[in-house]
Every structure is written in C-alpha cells, then in structure tokens.
C-alpha cells in the first residue's frame, strides 16, 4: 500500500492477507509482551504462522527478545491469533505502528484482545514472576492512537467480566493500575515515587495505546502484566533488560497455561 494510506485501510489490507494465510473465524487475539514468547508455546502446535514483517504496515520488531510472528492456534472451539512481538512507541515510528496489530486483528474479525506485558512492580508485595490483572491505566505517553473528533469512552476499558473470568481460573490474581510510559529508559526512583502517588501499581512501556485502539474498534480487552522486576528505587537494585527477559522466561510456562485456559473459556 502507498505511504499515507489511512490506518483503517492499511489494517483491512493486512487483515485480508492475514486471513488468506491463516484462515478466518478467529475469535481472540493475544499480544505477547516482552518475555512472553515462551508462553505462546503452551498453545501447542500452530495451525499456521506468518512473519509479522511480511504483512502490510508491519515492520519487524526491534527490541531484544521479541519474536516477530502471528500464529493461529485453536483452543477448544476458539480460534486464537497469537501476536509474538509488538511495536513499541520507543522504536520511534510513531503511534500508528504500535496499534496496527490491534486494528488488523479487529479487521480480521476478533472480538476480544488479551494484552500481555512485562512490567515493573510498584507495590512492595509484588513478586517477580507474579501475574497481575490490569484494572485501569494511566496513559503517560502523551499520545493517542485516535485522531479527530473521536471522543471514545474509556470507562471499564479493561473488561470487568473478563477479569472475573480470569479469576475463575486463578482466584488469587490481584489487580493493578498500569502506568504506560514512552521509555525506552527505565524510570528514575523519583518518577516511581511520583507514579505511586498518582495511583499506579505497575509500570511499563506498552499496552495503554493498544487498549485505547481496541476500545475504539469495539473489542473487549483483558490486560495482564507479568511483574519482571521491582520498579526503580523500590529495592535499590539496578534494572537490567536481560534480567527482565529472564524473569519473563521463568514465569512464561505457567502464564501460557493460564492463557490457554482463559481463551478456551471465552464466552
Ligand atoms: N519500567 C518500565 N517498563 C518495564 C519495567 C520497568 O520497571 N519492567 C518491565 N518493563
């Protein structure tokens, strides 16, 4: 497609190629964040896969540890699109590539999106490897994926009934407010204190813009963070991207099994 193609047209073009490659009738898209790629393997053998970079409007993701694939898997009666790898705002390509996967999944007909991410934990009781449901977000990127007079309501953006469904599977899952920052640097301890004051429980560099785009496209959203580290200044430890990825890997199998169960139970 020509440069300057509007985002919805580009998403429809990508969705057409996606369904040519993987078939149609997908119910749900699961976006795998940093460190979650091993969780994708819990879904078992894919019925098909495409390289993300081969679809219109996508570029191969750049961050270390991010796969670059869309897989089609089946869980019971549900057809699931697994997005391994996402585009982040910090890659410098602007907002549209960040939400293109969501718009493509919506154009391909999914009704639900599960946004996973790796996050720093702000609460002292957060443990590395713990999964936390996103109850709401603070979008501190100063950006929106929407342009023009689209005054989309974001009340209950992270679906209460999907959080309830998640807790039917894992009753101990806690919830938290996710603060989305542009990155790519980690926060300063002072910024983390500020975020706590603002009501954040988790901090990361994704998810919020995708959730907004999903709501605008009429999708129901579940957000799930994996705490990969205590946020800056909480323990005094330095933050290391490799350690963040390693923590993700260690917890990924368990979280993958949760995601399989969750997608299989979707209404
Ligand atoms: N801050 C921001 N993003 C993150 C973090 C963090 O501490 N951990 C994983 N992603």
pLDDT digits (tens, 9 = 90+) for 169-226: 999 999 999 999 998 999 999 999 999 999 999 999 999 999 999 999 999 999 999 9
ipTM of the complex as predicted: 0.99
Mutate to test the pocket of ligand 1, among 117, 244, 245, 249 (most ligand atoms within 8 A of CB): 244
**Given pLDDT bands bounded at 50, 70 and 90, which one contains residue 1?**
low
Confirm if 180 and 158 have CB atoms less than 8 A apart: no
**Given pLDDT bands bounded at 50, 70 and 90, which one contains residue 64?**
very low
* Span from the CA of 20 to the centroid of ligand 1 (angstroms): 36
- In this structure, the residues whose C-beta lies within 6 A of any atom of ligand 1 are 118-120, 186-187, 203-205, 228-229, 231, 239, 244
Query: What is the structure's pLDDT at 60?
Result: 63
pTM of the model: 0.93
Give the number of the atom of ligand 1 that is nearest the alpha carbon of residue 181: 2
pLDDT at 237 over 60: yes
pLDDT at 129 over 50: yes
Mutate to test the pocket of ligand 1, among 203, 208, 250 (most ligand atoms within 8 A of CB): 203
């Amino acid at each position: 497609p020509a440069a300057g193609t509007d985002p919805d047209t580009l998403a429809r073009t990508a969705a057409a190629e996606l369904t040519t490659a993987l078939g149609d009738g997908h119910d749900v898209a699961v976006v795998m964040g940093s460190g979650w790629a091993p969780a994708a393997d819990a879904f078992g053998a894919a019925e098909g896969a495409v390289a993300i970079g081969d679809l219109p409007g996508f570029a191969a993701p750049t961050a270390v540890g991010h796969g670059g694939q869309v897989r089609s898997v089946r869980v019971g009666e549900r057809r699931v699109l697994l997005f391994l790898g996402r585009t982040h705002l910090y890659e410098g390509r602007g907002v549209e590539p960040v939400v293109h996967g969501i718009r493509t999944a919506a154009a391909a007909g999914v009704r639900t999106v599960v946004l996973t991410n790796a996050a720093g934990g702000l609460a002292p009781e957060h443990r590395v490897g713990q999964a936390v449901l996103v109850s709401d977000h603070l979008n501190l990127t100063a950006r929106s994926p929407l342009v023009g007079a689209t005054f989309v309501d974001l009340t209950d953006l992270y679906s209460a009934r999907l959080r309830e469904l998640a807790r039917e599977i894992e009753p101990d899952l806690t919830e938290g407010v996710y603060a989305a920052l542009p990155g790519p640097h980690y926060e300063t301890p002072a910024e983390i204190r500020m975020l706590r004051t603002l009501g954040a429980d988790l901090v990361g560099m994704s998810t919020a813009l995708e959730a907004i785009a999903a709501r605008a496209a009429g999708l129901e959203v579940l957000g799930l963070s994996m705490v990969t580290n205590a946020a800056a200044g909480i323990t005094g430890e330095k933050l290391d991207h490799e350690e963040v990825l390693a923590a993700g890997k260690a917890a990924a199998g368990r979280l993958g099994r949760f995601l399989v169960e969750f997608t299989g139970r979707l209404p």
